[in-house]
Amino acid sequence: MNVNTPRSANRLPPCGAIFDAPQKQKELSRTEEQLSAPDFWSQPEKSQRVMQWRKRLEEALANDRRIGSLTDDLDTLFELAREGENVTGDIERELKTYAELLERLETSMLLSGENDARGAIVTIHPGAGGTESQDWAEMLLRMYLRWAERDGFGAVITDRLEGEGAGIKSATFEVNGENAYGLLNSEIGVHRLVRISPFDGNARRHTSFASVFVYPQIDDEIKIEIRPDDLRIDTFRSGGAGGQHVNMTDSAVRIVHLPTNIVVQCQNERSQHKNKDSAMKQLRARLYEHELEKKQEETRKTEASKLDINFGSQIRSYVLAPYRMIKDHRTKLSIGDVDRVLDGDLDALIHAYLVYRKTGRTAGDGQDEE
């Protein structure tokens, strides 16, 4: 938006046009009537869905009020500017706040996929390269956990296999919260790191790869038939730091689905029963994804990004030397503040991907998002 043209305030979108606030208010009133029904809480699954819908309606109306308030403030500031007041700094700050809010709302509106609103199950695997790639995989794990924390999602590591010397050989974690799967879809694929290796005594530059896969969490509403005869369930002693915290029981669980050869495991809990429940949750999600891929093979893009974890297949490059830059090869968005991204600030990359997925529009080569 152009601060130098005060009348640009006239181009601010009316908040009601974005959210259709009157219709949302009517829907909220109908939802409140459902909540007051005597038998409302007798159906837990249905009541939970209604409560979630009410929350979305309330958030939409709150955002509508927020945009209306910001629009009014900007109208006032532009009027003061036309009267000769020096309010340029105030206008710039308000416009920045306005733009950030609209971007967050646009991100939310772009999440229209069948499973976008669900929680996510994420797995990370290092590519070839031993310690280098294993360390890079652990850096990615930290980045996603920090992102989840920053954006208010709950994250639980359900399986982690330590690397030899440093890093991880694999990790699986759940991200719990609305739209987690839709947002993390942007991360499916191979991630490439270029840096001066901390493990190389000659301080040479190394390139490392790691792959990220994301699956939607599947609730009980979606029926996935799993025959007990199709499963091989193994128990083993989970890894740990040793000492007084060492696990002396075979509480970790690995499940192999024989028809598809899908393998899941969980060693997060001390209880074998809880680990089995978590592993079955992962298996249901993997089988659901498997069925979708069979039915929608031509339209789904997930498999296209599950390439070899090697050169030429990366979706994003993180360059720490000789210069510092992160570039998404799909959206063409480049970000110079590498540390900010590795510390979990993925919002710009996620938003650019969602726009690209919906419209095919890219951020443009050479654009540096600060």
pLDDT digits 0-9 by tens, 272-286: 888 998 999 899 889
Identity of the residue numbered 246: V
Per the prediction, the chain carries an average pLDDT of: 83
The pLDDT score that the predictor gives to residue 295 is: 59
Q: Which two three-digit tokens encode residue 355?
A: 């726009």
263 and 150 assigned to the same domain: no
Higher pLDDT, 299 or 330: 330
CA angle 160, 163, 169 (to 5 degrees): 55
Q: Is the pLDDT of residue 368 over 60?
A: no
Structural domain range at position 84: 6-109
125 and 255 assigned to the same domain: no
Q: Give the pTM.
A: 0.69
311 and 212 assigned to the same domain: yes
Q: What confidence tier does 244 reach under pLDDT thresholds 50, 70, 90?
A: very low
Q: Is the pLDDT of residue 254 over 80?
A: yes
> Is 1 within the bounds of a domain?
no
CA 236 – CA 249 distance, rounded (Å): 8
DSSP states of 130-194: THHHHHHHHHHHHHHHHHHHHTT-EEEEEEEEE-SSSSEEEEEEEEESTTHHHHHGGG-EEEEEE
The pLDDT score that the predictor gives to residue 16 is: 43
203 and 315 assigned to the same domain: yes
- We report the CATH number of the domain holding residue 59 as 1.20.58.410
234 and 284 assigned to the same domain: yes
Higher pLDDT, 307 or 224: 224
The stretch 5-18 carries a mean pLDDT of 39
184 and 127 assigned to the same domain: yes
